[in-house]
Amino acid sequence: MALGSQPMDILGDRQSGQDVRTQNITACQSVSNIVKTSLGPVGLDKMLVDDIGDVTITNDGATILKMLDVLVELAELQDREVGDGTTSVVILAAELLKRANDLIKNKIHPTSVISGYRLAMRESCKYIEDKLGVKVDMLGKENLVNCAKTSMSSKLLATDDDFFANLVVEAVQSVKMTNARGEVKYPIKGINILKAHGKSAKESYLLKGYALNTGRAAQGMPMRVSPARIACLDFNLQKTKMQLGVQVLVTDPRELEKIRQREADVTKERIEKLLKAGANVVLTTKGIDDMALKYFVEAGAIAVRRVRKEDLRHVAKATGATAVSTFADMEGEETFDSSFLGYADEVVEERIADDDVILIKGTKTSNAVSLIIRGANDFMLDEMDRALHDALCIIKRTLESNTVVPGGGAVEAALSVYLEDLALTLGSREQLAIAEFAKSLLIIPKVLAVNAAKDATDLVAELRANHKTAQTGADNKHLSSLGLDLVRGTVRNNLEAGVIEPAMSKVKILQFATEAAITILRIDDMIKLAKEEGQDGQNYFYTRCADADQQYVVLDFETAHISCRIDDPSRQFDLW
């Protein structure tokens, strides 16, 4: 359908330009204000109640935003890539948007702001890598513990950070492995965190071996098997039943008993194949019925049912087993090869708190460890779990990237001073955007100081003055590590004080926050189409298009497909 030059009449609302931008930025500001007070070692916790009344008490930015369902992708991206810094990335993105909006109101084109922000982000990342990053090798092992402590400083574990930091570092170093390309990796998914009620938090401990939060399927099975040959199954070991919809017509009652017997024998044959292949530990994600358990008890094997799929994958990877979802082979026969089995030094059942757990120790291909965390109640254990997850991710990133930077607002203050100087060297409109980017970075030290009930204005001014001195003279390099001491309310050398973070975390925060801000800045038009109900219950909207006949067109609201053309709008539903 050829459209002429006449405008389209759409039944609905349209907002353009500044109104849309302000609306989006106000929404981001609101979200930022919610998480802002949880940043830093003296940040506050949030209590979130979902639609079915479940309560979550947390300080973790990713969890707060996940529960709120807004700016989720930005927080999740940071959580996935780094594991920590989710609160910072949202606060920075909101501040960048706020300042960009002010520039646009002052007649700076959004394209100029976007290109300025991109340039500032690239220069910031380069400056972190060239000037602010310090190699972990030069600082020694205690710096891994300090990285973990910095990550935990704003969490529930802050009071026992020394104990938990050492626990986390030991756990991450236990799963060290070298991949096919010769790269050293730390697969922290091999670290299982088990939550057990009772005792104090400091009675948490590290177990060498992968722990499954379940016990043996029957009491007659042995408590310990060594050496263990493990079969990982993803199907039922229960009496076989006919598929739904299959009908068998039986004329002789004696044949019925044979069918029942054959159903029982199929499962028996499968178990015999497993045992014949050498399996003495069988893990399955589905059920095992009592009839099947009898065969495992007689063979002296351990069988475990209802294992989580995620746990099964990790056990298979650690022991070298193959997760099997069917016994059928290419010829249609049922077989189980011994090459599918995984190996471990021993599998043992132990009792932790009130629960039985299966421990798989001495795994074949990669080390697996479990953190058993103790605590008073569910809320405490859940928050400890989140804090340990962040700390594990930070240690992994620190070891793999091998570069750390001082924390406590040191990086943001240094970048702010550097970018302000950089902006003055540019003669284009980007100068203003880069200057605003520099000011936006100061939101992190400001929020840290405000949350600690300190004078943010004085502290940030002193911090900036020191970083300016550090960047102007070669003899003042030591000042580039200055950050905030939020307990005393002073400025100190955070590298020496052990307040450090992986450089990768800061780089990703800058990249993700900038990209998120740019994405929202690019939106300047929003059209909401009004819904109207068709007689068949479908939604349609109507628009007059300037085609040759000046006809009305009925469009389906959901798909925007043309349903029909009509000459007279009063006849619009004659066809239905």
The question of whether 86 is a catalytic residue gets the answer yes
If one counts every other C-beta atom within 10 angstroms of the C-beta of residue 377, the result is 8
From 45, 79, 161, 390, active-site residue: 390
> Are 281 and 231 in contact, with CB atoms under 8 Å apart?
yes
The question of whether 79 is a catalytic residue gets the answer no
Task: Say how far apart CA 396 and CA 284 lie, in whole Å.
Answer: 31
Give, in order, the Cα–Cα distances in Å from 242 to each of 237, 248, 293, 333. Answer: 14, 9, 21, 18
Task: Say how far apart CA 481 and CA 406 lie, in whole Å.
Answer: 6
Q: Estimate to the nearest angstrom the gap between the alpha carbon of 188 and the chain centroid.
A: 13
From 45, 56, 60, 398, active-site residue: 60
Q: What is the DSSP letter of 43?
A: P
**Secondary structure tally for the chain: helices H, strands E:** 18, 27
Q: What is the DSSP letter of 132?
A: I
What pairs with residue 15 in β-bridges? Answer: 526
Look at strands 228-233 and 323-324 and give their pairing.
parallel
The question of whether 485 is a catalytic residue gets the answer no
From 56, 58, 87, 398, active-site residue: 87
For the chain, how far is it from start to end, CA to CA, in angstroms?
A: 23
From 86, 150, 285, 398, active-site residue: 86
Task: Say how far apart CA 481 and CA 490 lie, in whole Å.
Answer: 14
Task: Say how far apart CA 129 and CA 132 lie, in whole Å.
Answer: 6
Task: Say how far apart CA 54 and CA 51 lie, in whole Å.
Answer: 8
The question of whether 87 is a catalytic residue gets the answer yes
Catalytic residues: 60, 86-87, 390
